[in-house]
Structure 1
Amino acid sequence: MNKSVDIIIPTYRPDESVVYLIKKLLKQTYPIHEIHIIDTETGIFPKKLKNLSDKIRISKIKPEQFDHGGTRHEGAMQSHADIIVYMTQDAMPVNEYLVEELVKAFDNEKIAAAYARQLPNSKCNVIERYTRAFNYPEQSRIKSLKDLETLGIKTYFCSDVCAAYRKSVYESLGGFEEKTIFNEDMIMAAKIIQSGGLVKYVAEAKVIHSHNYNCKQQFQRNFDLAVSQVEHPEVFQNIKSESEGMRLVKNTMIYLIKIKKPWLIIKLILQSGFKYMGYCLGKKYGQLPMWLIKKCTMNQRYWEKMD
């Protein structure tokens, strides 16, 4: 019997690209029961979205209500599907087989989560293009508790840019944390693996998704990453992520030399320095005044709720 699938997409100021995304999802080979768009109200929303299909459901929330974990969890609690697929509004399916490839992973009853490969868009810079290839290789992989020795923190890696979850397991583990700065996907993957379940990286399921972050944005994102790790010691306390970051930097340097663009190493070192500074400061966020935290974070609203 086919597993039923719902897709949940949080949106903020959606434009025509979201209309295109929904059209691509409606053409998937695997039948989708419902596409639930959870829109943060800003007054900007393409009217044509509502009329694309009767499979589309639109919910509205206030900006102050949005939370990376909580909003997605609320969407899950409103779903009756066997499989929940989360996507971001800037992720674009490469072809019509995205959902089919993700759902295939769940033929293995022990797999509770599966996430897609992210490919760079046409405007992606050289360094970020390599980072995508580093984090999302051509080979699929199933991850379990035994991989901690070799993969370290990447054992728990998962991305809600495009990820699917077995609803029954998701619920049994309590779902996403309802208050998270971000990283709800990785925290959930850790819960799954620590409980004896499996997480699959599905290289055959592909989306176009990348960012050309500047140094300030790299700093802010890694500040928030560190905050999420400090707030969840049950997942991250005994696992170091710095070594994985160093491996990425070294491999990127080798790649830049190989493609005869060694001058980009200066940019790489600068960006990596900002990443590391943001990460180190985020680890000590509890010692920082709120005004400074708000300068360092990418997620202002998370901290405004604490004031």
Structure 2
Amino acid sequence: MSVTVIIPTYKPGDKFLRLMEGLKKQTLPPDKILIMNTEKKFWKDSVLRGMEQAEVIHISKEEFDHGRTRAQAAEMADSEFLIYFTQDAVPADTCTIENLLKPFRDPEVGAVYGRQLPDKDCRLIERYTRSFNYPEKSRRKTRKDIPILGIKTFFCSNVCAAYRKEAYEKMGGFTFPTIFNEDMIMAGNLIKAGYAVFYAADAQVIHSHNYTWLQQFKRNFDLAVSQADHPEIFKDVPSEGEGIRLVKSTCRYLIKKGRPWLFPQLVFSSAFKFLGYRMGKNYRKLPRRLVMKFTMSPDYWEKKN
């Protein structure tokens, strides 16, 4: 199996260094590493010492786009498989790449995504959200699962994901311009074209965020914008039901852990997520000044208009 690892970066820090160290130790090392770095002034060549297979492509902030930047890197790769990481995703062990690629033994699998484990500083509610979205058990998903899993059928994350390049190219590559969610759009296209998407619970990275309520609002706003812009994927599989299921499940978890005093935090966090999502779904009805306040990606809107 020939493999190219692709990592978009912007002001890479300690976690990126840990990611690069983790890639050095993999049981199945990548043939090539393409780093799509935004703004050369924030880059230090010293981070690539001892990694001859790594190449850095510098782009400007104006050129960056979640879909296009990843698609540009894919065009530079001549390998059979593409693996994407974000700069803050740290391999949990030496088998992350090997375990990402194992499911491709099934010729129907077009994409595989890994399990995201919480970091040491991760708060309790977010720690549970990780386990809810990334459970211990692996799963193969096809269009037959849509009536059962709903939008979760299309769930995939480029924090840690691999694609069969042939299937990726048949789908036309990542959609752009994209505010967010290029991974789920690709997974949705693959599922609808008859491919399978595989969740590999044994392909693990350490990755979590302690978002504020406002950041959660903005993130869900952008998520919903991407869904509103791609009704061909998301129209018939609404997300609200999955959100309600997460809230109920988290309540049970907090009771089990004896932490009922965290209920207000869960309520407010969930309310901000829901409001952000509803605003994003209806962004076309909002004045531009509100869109710019609500989004986590103002550069996207400036380029769009």
**How high is the TM-score relative to the length of structure 1?**
0.98
CA distance in 2, matches of 1:50, 1:264: 43
Is the Cα contact below 8 Å between 1:36 and 1:58 reproduced in 2?
Answer: yes
Q: Once superposed, what is the RMSD of the aligned Cα atoms?
A: 0.9
Q: Which residue pairs with 1:257 in the alignment? A: 255
Residue of structure 1 aligned with 2:106, choices 100, 105, 108: 108
Q: Residue by residue, what CA displacement relative to the aligned partner does 1:226-245 show, whole Å, maximum 9, x if unpaired?
A: 10000000001111110100
Give ranges in structure 2 of 5+ residues lacking alignment: none
**Does 2:89 match 1:79?**
no
Q: Distance in 2 between matches of 1:275 and 1:46?
A: 36
Residues 202-231 of structure 1: CA distance to partner in whole angstroms, max 9, x if unpaired?
000000000011100010011011100000
Of the candidates 77, 80, 94, which is equivalent to residue 96 of structure 1?
94
Q: Distance in 1 between matches of 2:223 and 2:67?
A: 14
How do 1:103-252 and structure 2 match up within 5 A? 103-252=101-250
Match of residue 30 from structure 2: 32
8 Å contact 1:16–1:46 — kept in the other structure? no
Contact 2:23–2:29 (Cα < 8 Å) also in 1: no
How far 1:289 sits from its partner (Å)?
Answer: 1.3
Show structure 1 runs of 5+ residues with no match. Answer: none
CA distance in 2, matches of 1:100, 1:50: 22
3-state DSSP of counterpart to 2:211: coil
- Give CA-to-partner distance per residue, 1:112-142, whole Å, 9 cap, x none: 1000000000000000000000000000000
How many aligned positions are there?
Answer: 305
Question: Partner of 2:62 in structure 1?
Answer: 64
For residues 73-121 of structure 1, give each alpha carbon's deviation from its aligned partner in whole angstroms, at most 9, with x where no partner exists. 0000110010000000000000110000011110000001000000000
Secondary structure of 2:304's match? coil
How many angstroms does 1:288 deviate by?
1.0
1:8–1:86 Cα contact (<8 Å) kept: yes
Q: Deviation above 4 Å: which 4+ runs of structure 1? A: none
1:20 matches 2:25: no
Q: CA offset at residue 20 of structure 1?
A: 2.3
SS for the counterpart of 2:260 is coil
The separation in 2 between residues aligned to 1:18 and 1:125, in whole angstroms, is: 22
Identical pairs, percent: 50
The change in CA–CA distance for 1:42 and 1:291 in structure 2 (over 3 A counts) is: farther
C-alpha contact 2:40 2:58 (8 A) present in aligned 1: no
Instruction: Tell me if structure 2 keeps the 8 A contact 1:13–1:42.
Output: no
| 1:42, distance to aligned residue in structure 2 (A) | 5.5
